[in-house]
Structure 1
Amino acid sequence: SNPLGVEEVKLTKEFYKYPTEPPFFVPDDALAHFRECVERGEEMESAWSTKFETYAKKNSVLAGEFQAVLAKELPNGWDAELPVFTPKDSLATRVSASQAEAAIAKKVWFLFGGSADLNESTFTDIKDGGDFERGNYDGRNPHFGIREHGMCSILNGLALHGGFIPYGSSFLCFTDYARGAIRLAALMELQVVFVFTHDSIGVGEDGPTHEPIEHLASLRAIPHLTVFRPGDANEAVEAWRTVMTHTQGPVLLALSRQKVPTLDRTKMAPASGARRGGYVISETQGRPADIILLGSGSELSLVVDAKAKLEDKGKSVRVVSMPSENIFEQQDQAYRDSVLPPAIRRRLAVEAGATMSWYRWVGLDGDIIGMTTYGASGKSEEVMKHFGFTVDNVVERALKLLAR
C-alpha cells in the first residue's frame, strides 16, 4: 500500500478537524500521557531490581544461575556425559541424537521443549521430566498438540523472553506448516532448536506425502538458519553440541528414521570435524584424489563404502562428510579449499533430497545423486534402491564422471 501523500494527509486532518500545521503535530496532553510510561517503567524496573536483590541475598546460588541463563552461559560440565558411539551401534540419527539430548538435559535444566504430538517418533521428551501443565510448572515436557506453526511460535516466544533453550520436534515434511515461525526465528536470530526427523525418502511406508524432497534445500536457503544433517551417531552428538553453543540464530536438526551405520573413527577422522560443517573423513593414501565423494545424513555411509570399491578399480578417492552446508560456507576460504581443493574438479555428491544446494560444492564438472521427483511408498531400503541410493550406483556414477 502507498503512503497517503502530502495533500491527502492535509485533507484527512481537515476532515477530523485536526491542526494541519506543523506537519507532525503532537498535542501536549498526548505527549504528557505517553511520557508517563517512562516514569512508570522506571518504577517497575526499580521494584523488580529490589525484589531480585532481596531474593539473591537469600538464594545466591539460584540467583547466579538465573543470571547466567539469561546471559546464555552453559553450566560447567554440560557436555560431560555426551555419548560416544562405536561401529557396533547401528542407530537411526533420531535415536543417537535423542541420547545426546538426554545427556545434555541431565546437566542443563533450562533445555526445554517437546513435540507436535509426535514423541513416539521423534524421541525428544525428557525421560522422567514430567509433563509441563497447569499446576505442574516444573514439568519439562510441554504438549504442543498437532500444530507445528503454533509450536514453533511458542519456542520463539520462549527464546525472546530468555532463560530457556527451547526446542520442538516433528517430521521434516511438516516444516511446511511452520515455515513462517522458523523464518521469524531466523530473522530475529533466536537461539531456538528445531528437531525434525523422518528427513528423506527413507521414511518408506509413509509414502510421498511424508517424504521431504525440496525441504533441505529450501531450509538451507533461509538466512541465519543453520541446518545440520548428521551422517552417523557421533555426528548426531556433534549436532547437539552445535545446538547448545550456537547462540545467534536457530539450528534445525534433520534426522533419519532408518538406521545408519556408525563409522569407525579409529580409521577415519573424528566426528569433531562436523563442527566446521564439512570435513575430510578418509582418503586414498599416497597420491592426490581423482575424485571427491560428498555425502550427508543417511547417504554418508554410501560414499564411504563406494570409496573401497573405487579403490579396487585403481581409483584414488577422497570422502567428505557435509552435515551442514550453512556452517561450511561460513568457514574461511583456506579451510574450504583444504577440504575441496579447487584443482580436483571431479566431485560427486549424494543426498536423498533436492539437488539444488549441492551445485556450489560440486561445480560444473561435478555430479549429484539426488531427488528430482517425489518419493514412493514402500520399505525404506526398497525405496532407496529404486531411486539409486546404493553403493553400486554411486560407484557407477563416479566411474562415469571419471571417464568424461
Structure 2
Amino acid sequence: MSSLKPTNIDELSVATIRCLAADVVAKANSGHPGMPMGMAPISQVLFSKLFRTSGAGKTPWINRDRFVLSNGHGCALQYIIAHLLGYELSMEDLKEFRQLDSKTPGHPEAGHDTPMVECTTGPLGQGISNAVGLAIAQANAAATFNKEGLELFNNFTYCFLGDGCLMEGISSEACSLAGHLKLGNLICVYDDNHISIDGDTACSFTEDVEQRYLAYDWHVLHVNDGDRDLAGMAKALEEAKKVTDKPTIIRLKTTIGYGSKIQGGAGTHGAPLKADDIEQLKEKFGFDPSKKFHIPQEVYDFWHQIQERGAGYQKEWDQMFEQYKSKYPAEHAELSRRMAGKLPNGWEKALPTYSPSDSAVATRKLSETLLSKVSAAVPELLGGSADLTGSNLTRWSDATDFQHPSSQLGNYSGRYIRYGVREHAMGAIMNGLHAYGLHIPTSGTFLNFVSYAVGAVRLSALSNFRAIWVATHDSIGLGEDGPTHQPIETAMALRAIPNLNFMRPADGNEVSAMYKVAIESAKTPSVIALSRQNLPQLEGSTIEKAEKGGYVLKEVENADVTLVATGSEVAIARDAAAELEKKGIKARLVSMPCFRVFDIQPMEYRRSVLPSGQPIISLEAYTTLGWHKYSHVQHGINRFGASAPAPQVYEKLQIAPKPFAEKAEKVIAYYKKEKIPLVSPIELTAAFE
C-alpha cells in the first residue's frame, strides 16, 4: 500500500467529494465547505484503503474502526462519505443539510439516526477527546476478552481535527493522557490549513504542533501536500498503524476550499461558495457545471465495493465469535450481554441498605462502599477520578488501574482510570467510553469542578450517553476550602440541562437509589452530588421510595406545612420539623434527591408528595433559583460561601434548624393571616401537561 499510485477513480472520487460538498452547503445556504474540500483526499485514502466499516444496513459491528470528526463544522464531508458507502443516508438527506428534522444536522449528533456518527462533536476539542475515550475502551475490551488466536478486538480509532481543536485546552488534556497511556490504536489527522474564523492562524496560533505532540510522547508524522499526494497519505497512515505503543498524529498540510477561486482563505471556512465559483470549480474538475449533486456511477460502484469489503470483515468476525463461544462460553455470554446493552440479572441485589440505627456517614463514603459492592456485580463499570481518588473515594478496594503494562502501575484490563487534573477531558473521554458500546463510565471530582467540564456534560445529555459523575464535596459543608470550592449555583446550572439527572442523596438508602437510577438510565447521564460531612441514616428512607426522585419521608395528618429539602439539608429540615412540633406546628417532611426523576413520575404521585392546602417551603444550601417549581417559599444561599469550619459556615449562612423553623412559622402565619388559598406549584405543571 505504501506504493499506492493515484488512479483515475481516486482522482474522480476526490473531485466528486469536493464538488458535492460545495453543492450541499450552497443549497443549505449555511455551513462550512472549505474543510470538506480540503480533506477530501485524505478521506478518499483512509476509507478506501484502510478503514474497516460495518456492512450497510446492519447493526454496527462492535470491532469496526471508529471515525470521529472533531472539526465537526465540516460534517458535510462525513455525511457524503456515509452516503457513498451505502449507509441509510440518501441524496435527499444530503439536500436537507442543516434543515429541520433532517438526518444531516449542522454538526454531527450521535443518536440522531445519522449513520457513521459515533459521537456528538462541534464544540472544538470535544471530538479528539471522545476519540481518546474510544481508544481506551477498545484497549480495555481487547485486554479483557481477546484470547490467543481469537482476537475479537483490534480496531483503530481515526480522528480528523483542526487548528481550533488544538487551540482548545481540552485537547491538551486529552492528548497528554493518551500519550501517557500509549494508545497505539489512536490515529489522528491534523488538518493544517492555517485558517480559523478570524483568518490566518498567524494572528493567534503559531506554536510548533509537531514538537508539542512529541512532548506528549506521540508518534508524529507529516505530509506536506494534503491536496494531491495520495501516496504520501497512504504511507503515513500505514506507518501509523504499525506503531503500537504510541498514538499517532499526522500533520497534513491542506488548502482550505481547494479548487475554489478563494481557496486558502477564511472566506471558504464558514460560508457557502458563490454560484459562479461552484460552476468554475466543477469545470476545473471536469464536471458539467449545470449538474448539482452529481455522483458518477463509477464513483458509487467504487465506494459500494468498500462497503462490501466491510460486510466481509463483519462476516469473518461473526464466524470467529462463534468459535469463541464454543471455547469460552462464559466470556461469550458476558460479551453478548454487554453488546446487547443489558445489565446483569439481579445486579441490584448488591446495593447496600441502611436503617436509622446505623452510624452517620458522609455520602461520599457511602458511595465508596456501594462501588466496592456493585463493581463486581456490574463488570462494565469503568471508573476513574480527576486526581482526587482519595477525596472522591471512587476506587473500589480490589480495583486495578488502567495503565499501559510497561508502566508496571496496572494494565489495559484495569477498570480504574487515573485521569489526572483534567476534568474537561475526563467528561469527553467518558463520552467516548460510552460510545464504544461496552462500558458504563464513572468518574470523580468535586462538584464545583464539574463546572470545568460542563461542555462535555452537556454533550452527554444531548447524545443520550450514560456517563456517571461522582461529584463529592457538594456544598458549604466542605468548609475551610471556602467559596472557590463551595458550589452555590452549580446544582441549578446542571439541573437546567435537559436529559441530565442531577442527584443529591441524603443518606445511604438514597445513595443506593441514585446509583440504581443512574446505572439503569441507559440514555441519560447523571451527576451524583455527595457530602464531605457525615449525615445520619434517616427514618423513612428506602431505595424504592428514593428512586422516584422525591418522596414523603415523614407524613403528618392535617399538617400546617411541608418542608422539602435535598442532601445534607434533609436532616436539617427534619430537625426543624422537630422544633416546630414543640410549638404545636405540624410539619410534613419531603426529600427530593432528583428533580428530573421526580418530574417524570405520574402526576397523581407528584400531587401526593407536594399537595395543595398548606405552604411548601424548600431548604437547600444552594441558590434558591428553580425551587419555585416545587415550593411557595425558598430558604437557601444567594451569595458565595465562606472559608471556615463547616458548622460555622452553616451558622453564618442561616442553614440550620432554628432559622429554618422560624422562617416556616412566619410563612404559615402570613398565609393564614392573608387567607390565601394555597395551590401546590405542582398543579401549575399539571394544568399544562
- TM-score bracket for the superposition, by shorter chain length: over 0.9
User: Deviation digits for residues 311-337 of structure 1, max 9, x if unmatched?
Assistant: 221112111100000101111111111
1:53 equivalenced with 2:322 (yes/no): yes
Identity of aligned residues (%): 37
Could you tell me which amino acid in structure 2 is paired with residue 128 of structure 1?
D
Could you tell me which amino acid in structure 2 is paired with residue 93 of structure 1?
T
Could you say which residue in structure 1 is the equivalent of 2:661?
395
Could you say which residue in structure 2 is the equivalent of 1:171?
446
Rounded to whole Å, the distance in 2 between the matches of 1:277 and 1:81 is 21
Change in Cα spacing, 1:270 to 1:108, as seen in structure 2 (3 Å) is closer
Rounded to whole Å, the distance in 1 between the matches of 2:281 and 2:292 is 12
Rounded to whole Å, the distance in 2 between the matches of 1:203 and 1:7 is 64
Asked whether the equivalents of residues 10 and 20 of structure 1 are also in contact (C-alpha less than 8 Å), the reply is yes
Rounded to whole Å, the distance in 1 between the matches of 2:551 and 2:458 is 28
Could you tell me which amino acid in structure 2 is paired with residue 118 of structure 1?
L
Could you tell me which amino acid in structure 2 is paired with residue 158 of structure 1?
L
Uncovered stretches (5+) of structure 2, i.e. residues with no partner: 1-269, 406-410, 671-689
Rounded to whole Å, the distance in 2 between the matches of 1:122 and 1:61 is 33
Could you say which residue in structure 2 is the equivalent of 1:222?
497
Rounded to whole Å, the distance in 2 between the matches of 1:78 and 1:271 is 14
User: Deviation digits for residues 56-101 of structure 1, max 9, x if unmatched?
Assistant: 1111221111111122222233232322223331111111121112
Segment drifting more, 84-93 vs 107-116: 84-93
1:353 equivalenced with 2:622 (yes/no): yes
Asked whether the equivalents of residues 122 and 170 of structure 1 are also in contact (C-alpha less than 8 Å), the reply is yes
Per the alignment, in what secondary structure is the counterpart of residue 347 of structure 2?
coil
1:74 equivalenced with 2:343 (yes/no): yes
1:118 equivalenced with 2:384 (yes/no): no
Instruction: Report the Cα offset of residue 228 of structure 1.
Output: 1.0
Rounded to whole Å, the distance in 1 between the matches of 2:285 and 2:318 is 44
Task: Report 1:315-326 matches (<5 A).
Answer: 315-326=585-596
Change in Cα spacing, 1:253 to 1:379, as seen in structure 2 (3 Å) is same
Per the alignment, in what secondary structure is the counterpart of residue 131 of structure 1?
coil
Aligned residues: 395
User: Deviation digits for residues 339-392 of structure 1, max 9, x if unmatched?
Assistant: 111333x11101111211211001xxx211112111110101111111111000
TM-score, scaled to structure 2: 0.56
Instruction: Report the Cα offset of residue 113 of structure 1.
Output: 1.1
Rounded to whole Å, the distance in 2 between the matches of 1:210 and 1:89 is 27
User: Deviation digits for residues 216-271 of structure 1, max 9, x if unmatched?
Assistant: 0010111111111101122111111112222121111011111111113xxx2534
Segment drifting more, 351-360 vs 77-86: 77-86
Match of 2:378 among 69, 94, 108: 108
Match of 2:430 among 138, 152, 155: 155
Task: Report 1:344-383 matches (<5 A).
Answer: 344=614, 346-362=615-631, 366-383=632-649
Could you say which residue in structure 2 is the equivalent of 1:277?
549
Rounded to whole Å, the distance in 2 between the matches of 1:125 and 1:270 is 25
1:31 equivalenced with 2:306 (yes/no): no
Rounded to whole Å, the distance in 1 between the matches of 2:383 and 2:288 is 53
Per the alignment, in what secondary structure is the counterpart of residue 167 of structure 1?
strand
Instruction: Report the Cα offset of residue 291 of structure 1.
Output: 0.9
Instruction: Report the Cα offset of residue 396 of structure 1.
Output: 0.7
Instruction: Report the Cα offset of residue 5 of structure 1.
Output: 5.8
User: Deviation digits for residues 178-227 of structure 1, max 9, x if unmatched?
Assistant: 11111111111112111111111111111111111111001011111111
Could you tell me which amino acid in structure 2 is paired with residue 57 of structure 1?
S
Match of 2:457 among 169, 182, 186: 182
Instruction: Report the Cα offset of residue 130 of structure 1.
Output: 1.6
Asked whether the equivalents of residues 232 and 297 of structure 1 are also in contact (C-alpha less than 8 Å), the reply is yes
Rounded to whole Å, the distance in 2 between the matches of 1:295 and 1:40 is 58
Could you say which residue in structure 2 is the equivalent of 1:303?
573
Radius of gyration: which is bigger? 2
Could you tell me which amino acid in structure 1 is paired with residue 351 of structure 2?
L
Change in Cα spacing, 1:7 to 1:211, as seen in structure 2 (3 Å) is same
Segment drifting more, 241-250 vs 78-87: 78-87
Rounded to whole Å, the distance in 2 between the matches of 1:69 and 1:300 is 37
Uncovered stretches (5+) of structure 1, i.e. residues with no partner: none
Per the alignment, in what secondary structure is the counterpart of residue 553 of structure 2?
strand
Could you say which residue in structure 2 is the equivalent of 1:128?
398
Task: Report 1:332-347 matches (<5 A).
Answer: 332-344=602-614, 346-347=615-616
Rounded to whole Å, the distance in 2 between the matches of 1:83 and 1:61 is 27
Asked whether the equivalents of residues 190 and 247 of structure 1 are also in contact (C-alpha less than 8 Å), the reply is yes
Off by >6 Å, runs of 4+ in structure 1: none
TM-score, scaled to structure 1: 0.93
Could you say which residue in structure 2 is the equivalent of 1:197?
472
Rounded to whole Å, the distance in 2 between the matches of 1:253 and 1:16 is 56
Rounded to whole Å, the distance in 1 between the matches of 2:483 and 2:444 is 20
Could you say which residue in structure 1 is the equivalent of 2:601?
331
Per the alignment, in what secondary structure is the counterpart of residue 626 of structure 2?
helix
Per the alignment, in what secondary structure is the counterpart of residue 349 of structure 1?
strand
User: Deviation digits for residues 156-194 of structure 1, max 9, x if unmatched?
Assistant: 111111111111110111112111111111111112111
Rounded to whole Å, the distance in 2 between the matches of 1:27 and 1:237 is 59
Rounded to whole Å, the distance in 1 between the matches of 2:457 and 2:306 is 33
Rounded to whole Å, the distance in 2 between the matches of 1:300 and 1:165 is 30
Could you say which residue in structure 2 is the equivalent of 1:254?
529
Rounded to whole Å, the distance in 1 between the matches of 2:341 and 2:312 is 27
Rounded to whole Å, the distance in 1 between the matches of 2:326 and 2:661 is 67
Instruction: Report the Cα offset of residue 6 of structure 1.
Output: 4.6
1:139 equivalenced with 2:417 (yes/no): no
Asked whether the equivalents of residues 126 and 140 of structure 1 are also in contact (C-alpha less than 8 Å), the reply is no
